[in-house]
Structure 1
Amino acid sequence: MSRNESITASQVAPLLYRVEEAAEVLRVGRTVVYELIRCGALRTVKVGTRRLVPVEAVREYVDSLSDGAA
């Protein structure tokens, strides 16, 4: 990529998901994601009033499923 080309948002991998996006990635409903957050199975960060799910937290959760921990 040359210096004059700009990077668009669609070209950058996300670092944080909205709850709805995390639900879509995990193929579950929003309510399930909020329950996973409530019970501590899915880590989140708070940005202002928004609750966001780090991409690596989703990966950690999925890995915990294969370990039999969740």
Structure 2
Amino acid sequence: MTTPEALTVSEVQAALRLGKTKVYELIRSRELPSFTVGRSRRIDPADLHAYIRKQKKEN
């Protein structure tokens, strides 16, 4: 299976086991970079992995 070029908010929710509100908080605070396609938010998998690595280092 290939890695998608961009993840949906729902996919990020599942990966981090967080609610939609928390994921959007991370996006709004710019802790988790995102971009829009039409009216939909997308997250680069590399940015998600970088966020996870940063959280591991801080904890």
Query: Paired residue for 1:21?
Result: 11
RCO comparison, higher one (Cα < 8 Å, 6+): 2
CA RMSD of the aligned region, Å? Answer: 1.5
TM-score of the two chains, using structure 2 as the length reference: 0.87
- The list of structure 1 runs, each at least 4 consecutive aligned residues, that deviate by more than 3 angstroms after superposition, is none
Identity among equivalent pairs (%): 31
More helix by share: 2
Equivalent residues, number: 59
Q: Which sections of structure 1, spanning at least 5 residues, go unmatched?
A: 1-10
Kindly provide the amino acid, as one letter, of the partner of residue 41 in structure 1.
E
